[in-house]
Amino acid sequence: MSEEIINKVAQSQLTTLDLEEYYPKEEIVVFDLKPFLFMELILKEKDFRASLQNTDWSIYQNKIVAVTCSADAVIPVWAYMLVVTYLEQVAKNIIMGDEKKAIEISLLQKIQAINVDEYIDKRIVVKGCGDLPIGEFAYMEITKRLRPVVKSIMYGEPCSTVPVYKKK
């Protein structure tokens, strides 16, 4: 008996959304205030300002910069603001925190920028396993963004999905 093999996955009209496509592709670098502090502990305004003026800011060109202070020091808010006045001229994006936080915020910004109109009344499969470390926060955010407009949201691969949401 010769039966035709039917690819039900291809016929299902599922739209696969891969969160790895929204993972930041730009290089992420950390700008640590610690080396700009006196004895790596104390912020002296005059010295701090001079050090920033003498910094080669071109190394941050078109990069995502995570601004942090790895020293256990009290840093006034204006110091972070001052750093941004230099970085914003060259950096693609500036985020408060470490590299992990920069990845998280960049990923969230890209998810929040998705045009949800492209997904109206579609059946969405949010791709599961991949090569990049996509955190749970991203899966939560994509669900929040798409749920109001889609017919359904599933998690996994088109051949093996877990239902998450179905419009009633």
For residue 1, pLDDT over 80 is answered with no
How confident is the model at residue 148, as a pLDDT?
95
Q: What b/e sequence results for 7-31 when a residue is b if at least 16 CB atoms lie within 10 Å of its CB, and e otherwise?
A: eeeeeeebeebebeebbbeeebeeb
How does residue 119 score in pLDDT terms, banded at 50, 70 and 90? very high
Distances (CA, A) of 106 to 28, 55, 71, 77, 146: 10, 25, 25, 22, 19
Percentage of the chain lying above the pLDDT 70 cut: 93
Residues 145, 143: Cα–Cα separation, whole Å: 5
Residues 59, 31: Cα–Cα separation, whole Å: 11
**What does the domain layout of the chain look like in residue ranges?**
8-24+104-166, 28-91
Exposed, middle or buried by CB within 10 Å (0-12, 13-18, 19+), for 110? Answer: middle
The pTM of the full predicted model, rounded to 2 decimals, is 0.80
In the predicted model, what is the mean pLDDT of the chain?
91
Backbone angles phi, psi at 107, to 5 degrees: -65, -45
How confident is the model at residue 12, as a pLDDT?
57
How does residue 11 score in pLDDT terms, banded at 50, 70 and 90? very low
Residues 154, 111: Cα–Cα separation, whole Å: 17
How confident is the model at residue 168, as a pLDDT?
85
pLDDT tens digit sequence for 58-110? 999 999 999 999 999 999 999 999 999 999 999 999 999 999 999 999 999 99
The structure tokens listed for 15 are 């739209």
pLDDT tens digit sequence for 13-26? 899 999 999 999 99
Residues 6+ apart with CB under 8 A from 129: 157
For the segment 31-42, the average pLDDT, to the nearest whole number, is 93
